[in-house]
Structure 1
Amino acid sequence: MVPLLLLCAAALPLVARGAIPAPEEAARMARFVLHNCDWGALATLSTQEGLRGRPFANIFSLSDGAPGPHGGSGVPYLYLTDLEISVQDLEVNSNASLTVSLAQTPYCKKHKYDPQNPLCAHIIFCGNIVKVNDSEAGLAKKALFSRHPEMESWPKDHNWFFAKFNITNIWVLDYFGGLKTVTPEEYYSVKP
């Protein structure tokens, strides 16, 4: 019990200084985590022989906007190709979940938080993947290429396209006491 109390006490000064959103600001935390992460684990239902219908997770680069404190839209954009096996799954069933975690940032290592420690916040989004329309493609391109400049030189014959994760459900694990549910409306109404 004492280590748990010490862990909680250690986190409070960080929140007070504004390093991360406070535990009672679950929607802001979700935006904060997504904006500070460059990749996530995307889970689909596999269509691959031998795995058909089973969960299948894969890592994808993503971005909700240019790095910095005010650049995020909250929309997870992805750069995809039909040659990728998870994208083939999405062509059959576009439903997916996306997990992003502060474990990929220096934050958790700095504070010696294991990735499973709730103080090393992670967010689980559920929804579906959709190709962006022409009017949104420029925004998606700017968001992704600002964080992942290598993408601009990826082989053109792979028929890359911009997509977004259309969020329908959000769960936040950022503190002790279990998951918090955030609606998409709450999520999009705050800034990270």
Structure 2
Amino acid sequence: MRGGGMILSAGVAALVVLVLSLGARPSAADIPPRNETARVARYVAHRCDWGALATISSHEPVTGRPFANVFSVSDGPRGRSSGVIYLYLTTMEISVQDLQVNANASLTMSLAQTPYCREEKYDPQSPLCAHIILSGSVQKVNDTETDKAKLALFSRHPEMATWPRDHDWFFAKLNITNVWVLDYFGGIKTVTPEEYYQAKP
């Protein structure tokens, strides 16, 4: 399969089939305990396939104001969480143009996108339907990290391999500087990036 000037190798294609067959249906039994906040953050990051990325707009008539947009993300193939949030971007996209002016951004991901909250009858705004907010800066990955980013994204989003090659797609990641977790009533909780990366989802 080809897309964005990329070739999805037979090995990666086989992995795509494997991870898609595994599925991802979080249950009350496998969500980390609420007192293990860093693990909850990593769990949500790995379970979610997309998030709302907020940038500072560089476009009229909302220049300088917050602007949120949906992006597909992945922190690794199913069952192989790295905590690193990878994205597949093109400068033709309006939010990416914002990032070229100001690379700072925040990304929100929620278990509302999984079957879990619906099955538990949690409203998407309920803190019991856990969500995280990651802030930092978005940057293009270097050559040594490209294969890892490609595997992370194409294994979870195989359609990406077929996207138009003339859009000059590139792999990027969110360099996380702040992590907030909301998974229960009583206010938001924070963990350091170091705690986040060291945790096992």
Same fold at TM > 0.5 = yes
| Residue in 2 that maps onto 1:19 | 30
1-side partners of 2:174 and 2:65: how far apart? 20
Q: Cα deviation per residue 1:40-88 (whole Å; 9 max; x = unaligned)?
A: 00000001110100100000000001113xx110000000000000000
| Residue in 1 that maps onto 2:91 | 82
Report the AA paired with residue 33 of structure 1.
V
Give the C-alpha shift of residue 19 in structure 1. Answer: 2.1
Which of 32, 51, 67 is matched with 2:62 structurally?
51
Question: SS of the residue aligned with 1:129?
Answer: strand
Please, what is the CA RMSD of the aligned residues?
Answer: 0.9
Question: SS of the residue aligned with 2:106?
Answer: strand
| Residue in 2 that maps onto 1:62 | 73
Runs of 4+ in 1 over 2 A off after TM superposition: none
Which of 126, 144, 149 is matched with 1:140 structurally?
149
| Residue in 2 that maps onto 1:7 | none
Residue 130 (structure 1) aligned with residue 144 (structure 2): no
Residue 94 (structure 1) aligned with residue 103 (structure 2): yes
Task: Give the % identical residues.
Answer: 70
TM-score by length of 1: 0.90
2-side partners of 1:96 and 1:179: how far apart? 19
Gaps of 5+ in 2: 1-26
TM-score by length of 2: 0.86
1-side partners of 2:52 and 2:150: how far apart? 20
Give the C-alpha shift of residue 106 in structure 1. Answer: 0.4
Which of 163, 176, 179 is matched with 1:154 structurally?
163
Question: Alignment length, in residue pairs?
Answer: 175
| Residue in 2 that maps onto 1:38 | 49
Give the number of the structure with larger relative contact order, counting CA–CA contacts within 8 Å between residues 6 or more apart: 2
2-side partners of 1:190 and 1:179: how far apart? 18
2-side partners of 1:175 and 1:136: how far apart? 36
